[in-house]
């Protein structure tokens, strides 16, 4: 572990920078499973991640030494198991806030946990919760963010973007990591103290397509809907022909926004 100069109390104060790893989430999970305790706020950062994962085992691909791929260990024992989605909302809004100084207000959250800019994916989050009976023991928060990557493969052309493509300039990876850690810690401490009263509002109001008519797909059916809310469990609430419907992760696909 390395001490660093992050201006935080604990998130990022223990930083392990790996040159190459299959997945920072997997690496941190193995660390936690061993007998020696791992400090809350420990960050595993990888210069190259060759088996990064997104939601439901989808692959996260990032060019080595160009992007941020890291995982943070949190121990939100103060949350009830049915409050797990609070952590997802917290991390999403924290990353959006950290990116504000670079991209102003144009960053949005694609439900449930992707970061988008101009309808293109800028980053993604994968939180793996470790439970002990009815106790929320710990959470491994994995983040992948496209930073200095200039080109994407044919499969991602038009679907993914990076800070470099938007700004046409490199961004200091460690500085950006420090800013994200600071935002995560700030929100986490408010959540722990019970003072983050507007967390859900901050998350929902910044969702891609919030309060806008857009097209979605479920199975073979394409329909028009309007995002109005998320439930406490994280289900997406869509208003369809005057009636609200709730959808779980991967039950629907975004098609596009209506003009």
Higher model confidence: residue 258 or residue 152?
152
How far is Cα 95 from Cα 122, in angstroms, rounded to an integer? Answer: 11
CB 52 within 8 A of CB 67: no
Task: Specify the CATH number of the domain 213-257.
Answer: 2.30.30
Taking residues 67-74, report their average pLDDT.
Answer: 97
CB 114 within 8 A of CB 206: no
Q: Categorize the per-residue pLDDT at 53 as very low, low, confident or very high, splitting at 50, 70 and 90.
A: low
Taking residues 226-250, report their average pLDDT.
Answer: 97
Q: What are the sequence ranges of the domains in the chain? A: 15-204, 213-257
Residue with tokens 């309808």, as numbered in its chain: 119
Task: State residue 153's pLDDT score.
Answer: 78
How far is Cα 56 from Cα 96, in angstroms, rounded to an integer? Answer: 23
pLDDT tens string 80-124: 999 999 999 999 999 999 999 899 878 999 999 999 999 999 999
Higher model confidence: residue 49 or residue 20?
20
C-alpha 93 chain-centroid distance: 8
pLDDT tens string 125-167: 999 999 988 889 999 999 999 999 999 877 777 889 999 999 9
Task: State residue 216's pLDDT score.
Answer: 96
How far is Cα 67 from Cα 48, in angstroms, rounded to an integer? Answer: 9
Task: State residue 104's pLDDT score.
Answer: 80
How far is Cα 80 from Cα 229, in angstroms, rounded to an integer? Answer: 21
Task: State residue 50's pLDDT score.
Answer: 74
Q: Is the pLDDT of residue 57 over 60?
A: no
For 15-204, the fitting CATH number among 2.10.10.100, 3.30.930.10, 3.40.190.10, 3.30.413.10 is: 3.30.930.10
Would you tell me the crossing angle of helices 84-103 and 173-193 to the nearest 10 degrees?
Answer: 140
CB 32 within 8 A of CB 138: yes
Task: State residue 237's pLDDT score.
Answer: 98
């Amino acid at each position: 572990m390395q001490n660093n100069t992050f201006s935080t109390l604990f998130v990022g104060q223990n930083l392990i920078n790996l040159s190459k790893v299959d997945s920072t989430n997997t690496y941190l999970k193995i660390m936690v499973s061993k007998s020696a305790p791992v400090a809350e706020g420990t960050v595993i950062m990888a210069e190259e991640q060759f088996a990064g994962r997104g939601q439901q085992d989808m692959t996260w691909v990032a060019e080595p030494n160009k992007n941020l791929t890291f995982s943070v260990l949190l121990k939100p024992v103060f949350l009830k198991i049915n409050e797990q989605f609070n952590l997802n909302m917290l991390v999403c809004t924290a990353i959006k806030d950290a990116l504000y100084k670079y991209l102003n207000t144009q960053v949005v959250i694609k439900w449930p946990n992707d970061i988008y800019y101009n309808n293109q994916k800028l980053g993604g989050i994968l939180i793996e919760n470790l439970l002990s009976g009815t106790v929320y023991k710990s959470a491994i928060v994995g983040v992948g963010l496209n930073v200095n990557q200039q080109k994407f493969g044919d499969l991602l052309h038009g679907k993914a973007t990076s800070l470099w493509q938007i700004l046409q300039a490199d961004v200091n990876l460690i500085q950006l990591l420090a800013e994200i850690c600071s935002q995560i810690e700030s929100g986490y401490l408010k959540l722990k103290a019970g003072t983050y009263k507007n967390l859900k509002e901050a998350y929902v109001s910044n969702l891609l397509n919030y309060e806008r008519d857009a097209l979605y797909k479920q199975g073979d059916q394409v329909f028009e809907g309007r995002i109005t809310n998320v439930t406490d469990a994280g289900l997406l609430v869509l208003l369809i022909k005057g009636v609200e419907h709730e959808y779980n992760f991967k039950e629907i696909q975004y098609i596009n926004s209506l003009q």
